[in-house]
Amino acid sequence: MAVLKIGGVTLQTNLLLAPIAGYCDLAFRITCRKWGGVGLACTDLLSPQGLLRGRATSLDLAATNSDDKPVGMQLYGADPAMMAEGAVWAVEHGATVVDINMGCPVDKVTKKDGGSRLLCIPDTAEQIVRACRDAVDRASGGRVPLTCKMRLGWFDAEPVAVWLAPRLIDAGVQAVTIHGRTTQQKFSGDVHHDGINRVVEAVGNHCKAAGFSIPVIGNGDVRSAEEAQAMISKTGCAGVMIGRGALAAPWLFRDAWALQTTGTVPPEPTDAEKIDTIEAYFNLMLHYRDEHYAMVQIRRRISWFGKKLGRGTNARSVPVGCKPLKERIRSAKSPAEVIDALGLFRDGGLRGGGIEVAEEATA
């Protein structure tokens, strides 16, 4: 299976960790990378204004280090000049790749013409790409690729990505990620593999005529190695971006890469290994951020991790579950109490309650 090449950057695999605002922070990106299989991980969406003004929340979101490479930094907005300045900031602060958000459906972003609203104003989208392309080339000497991440379109009936992606490639993007839903769909309904496939075909035909090749990365609802494989075989995409599936299983990239390269999926990590991963992630949050942040995050994140914990069955073949662990962590008052709860579960305690459906992250 081919690795993925974006501009002059060759990734070790064709699997990418998606941006998920409020979730894919530095600690989580490193947690996924430790399991292997991550070709590129992306920051959550960043405000260029926030970065340029040195706003603490933006700087925290953009934080990266040598364990977090290669990294994409994703910018959102609608002002080409401001986006270009943000892109230069990203290059100067460690971005391996600069990405433009054209998929966010959240009102706060689209009301200011950012995110997926750009799918409705293609001239602006193109101007942003041209401005960022020039700025990134100047700042990096042509070293840093520019990419964009978009949905199939705004309206279900108007799949604009089919013609917008080739247009943005001409303007300077070197890879396109397609979330196989429209803005109208938000996060509901099925991902349209056929819609992603049409973009793959359109980009392929466009680039063939021009004598070069640009990868299209498929995204949406990949929660297992087999689903990553299906994304590739059904759409013809060159790479797969995984978001929510990784929140429950940071080892998903390892699994999906193993399936592509060896034809088999490694054994699922044991509960003890999963707890080690959660503990290491919690410690990284304490290290990179602070106690308040780590406590807030672990209380909400334990629902996601809990989807994969306590999956053995009891004498009546009912999954054992980890409800007591989740309750203990949600009510923990200090890092010591979190570590203590994880230790108890690792030693065989805090099980029960069956598998509860975790709340979904949506935006």
Active-site positions read 104
- Is 149 a residue that touches ligand FMN (CB under 6 A)? yes
d(CA 309, CA 355): 9
What does DSSP say about strands 97-102 and 216-219: parallel, antiparallel, or unpaired?
unpaired
CA distance 316 to 261: 38
Pick out residues in 255-294 that bind ligand FMN (CB under 6 A): none
- If you search the block for the tokens 């709860």, which residue do you land on? 341
* Residue 89, both tokens: 């900031």
Q: Please report, as a single letter, which amino acid is at residue 343.
A: G
Q: Is 211 exposed, middle or buried (0-12, 13-18, 19+ CB in 10 A)?
A: exposed
Among 176, 228, 231, 242, binds ligand FMN (CB under 6 A): 242
Q: Which of residues 303-362 bind ligand FMN (CB under 6 A)?
A: 361-362
Q: Which is nearer to ligand FMN, 253 or 345 (CB)?
A: 253
Calpha distance 269→349 (Å, rounded) = 18
Site string for ligand FMN, 181-200 (x = CB under 6 A): ------x-------------
C-alpha dihedral sign at 59, 62, 68, 70: negative
Q: CA distances (Å), 8 to each of 175, 209, 267, in order? A: 11, 21, 35
- Identify which range of 16-24, 203-211, 268-276, 301-309 contacts ligand FMN by CB under 6 A: 16-24
Q: Closest CB to ligand FMN belongs to which residue? A: 243
State which of residues 29, 33, 179, 193 lies at the interface with ligand FMN (CB under 6 A): 179
44 scored as a contact of ligand FMN (CB under 6 A): yes
The binder of ligand FMN chosen from 4, 15, 20, 237 (CB under 6 A): 20
Query: In the window 47-106, what residues touch ligand FMN (CB under 6 A)?
Result: 74, 101, 103-104
**Nearer to ligand FMN (CB atom), residue 213 or residue 362:** 362
Task: Provide the sign of the torsion angle of the four alpha carbons 103, 172, 39, 295, taken in this order.
Answer: negative
Q: Which positions touch ligand FMN (CB under 6 A)?
A: 18-21, 44-45, 74, 101, 103-104, 149, 179, 187, 219-222, 242-245, 361-363
